């Protein structure tokens, strides 16, 4: 029997990168997948791709920074599938690079609203449902920058540090209710998020990032996905409030 057979799994920001790879991996383990994202075309395409393998996936357009919409999405999931077993709060943006004193306030607020409030809203309504059904597992996507700093990225660093704290606080509140809440903290992973930030392979910035990782390369999405599936599974039954570094040794320095 697969680890997630017949489990209902919600993945935010699931149309590309780590989210998309996680959706495929959960589907390979016979879970029922709900992909949510603002990118409807990519999300529907991925859901169709998964369904063609014989697995079950649906797409729902979703702005995680909208609390009302998040509640409605989770209500629809429960209406269709009857429960919510696993949630991977993965949606996030990098934001622009500026020194703090020059950081545009509207950009700061956007990064915080998606990367922090989006996780809070997701957890709030996911936990409400998991309490009703007697348990579940939540994994939040933080970052190595939830543990260390990075130049010209104060909004992103602040949000990702806050996600780690939010994960720990919620784990203390709900571990006795059979809800496991953990985070993954990836280093720099080869995804569209990195490309969109001007860090494509072959650029000077890309080479600089590689040099920050003792392993001598960037990560790939499946290396993060493997950690997400572990934390979502019963194999991690005694793991609560953890922030699992998936970082090629980045934070060991």
Q: Give tens-digit pLDDT for 162-206.
A: 999 999 999 999 999 999 999 999 999 998 777 777 777 888 889
pLDDT tens digits, 93-118: 999 999 999 999 999 999 999 999 99
The Cα–Cα gap between 22 and 79 comes to: 23
Q: pLDDT value at position 200?
A: 79
Residue 111, φ and ψ in degrees, nearest 5: -60, -45
Handedness of CA 60, 62, 67, 69 (dihedral sign): negative
Q: Are 36 and 14 in contact (CB under 8 A)?
A: yes
Q: What is the DSSP letter of 36?
A: E
What is the rounded CA–CA span in Å between residue 116 and residue 155? 10
- Whether residue 206 lies in the annotated active site: no
Q: List the structure tokens of 147.
A: 């543990």
Marked catalytic residue, from 103, 121, 125, 156: 156
pLDDT in tens, 121-158: 999 999 999 999 999 999 999 999 999 999 999 999 99
- Quickly state the pLDDT bin for 37 (edges 50, 70, 90): very high
Report the distance separating Cα 35 and Cα 77, nearest Å. Answer: 11
Distance of alpha carbon 186 from alpha carbon 198, whole angstroms: 19
Cα separation, 209 vs 193, in Å, equals 14
From the list 63, 65, 70, 143, the residue with the least C-alpha distance to 110 is 65
Among candidate residues 234, 144, 235, the one with its CA nearest the CA of residue 183: 144
CA-wise closest residue to 167 among 149, 140, 136, 134: 140
Going by CATH, does the domain composed of 8-188+220-252 fall within 3.30.70.1290?
Answer: no
Q: How does DSSP classify residue 20?
A: H
CB count in 10 Å sphere of residue 152: 15
């Amino acid at each position: 029997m697969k680890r997630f057979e017949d489990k209902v799994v919600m993945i935010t920001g699931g149309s590309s990168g780590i989210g998309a790879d996680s959706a495929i991996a959960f589907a390979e383990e016979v879970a029922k997948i709900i992909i949510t994202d603002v990118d409807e075309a990519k999300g529907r395409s991925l859901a169709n791709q998964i369904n063609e393998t014989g697995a079950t996936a649906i797409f729902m357009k979703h702005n995680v920074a909208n609390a009302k919409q998040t509640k409605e999405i989770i209500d629809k999931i429960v209406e269709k599938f009857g429960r919510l077993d696993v949630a991977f709060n993965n949606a996030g943006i990098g934001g622009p690079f500026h020194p703090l004193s020059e950081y545009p306030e509207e950009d700061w607020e956007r990064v915080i609203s998606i990367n922090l409030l989006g996780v809070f809203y997701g957890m709030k309504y996911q936990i409400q449902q998991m309490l009703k059904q007697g348990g579940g597992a939540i994994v939040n996507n933080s970052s190595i920058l939830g543990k260390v700093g990075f130049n010209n990225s104060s909004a992103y660093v602040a949000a990702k540090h806050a996600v780690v704290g939010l994960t720990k606080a919620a784990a203390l509140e709900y571990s006795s209710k059979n809800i496991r809440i953990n985070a993954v903290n990836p280093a720099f992973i080869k995804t569209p998020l990195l490309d969109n930030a001007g860090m494509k392979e072959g650029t000077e910035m890309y080479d600089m990032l590689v040099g920050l990782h003792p392993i001598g390369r960037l990560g790939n999405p499946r290396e993060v996905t493997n950690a997400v599936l572990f934390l979502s599974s019963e194999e991690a039954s005694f793991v609560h409030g953890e922030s699992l570094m998936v970082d090629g040794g980045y934070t060991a320095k």
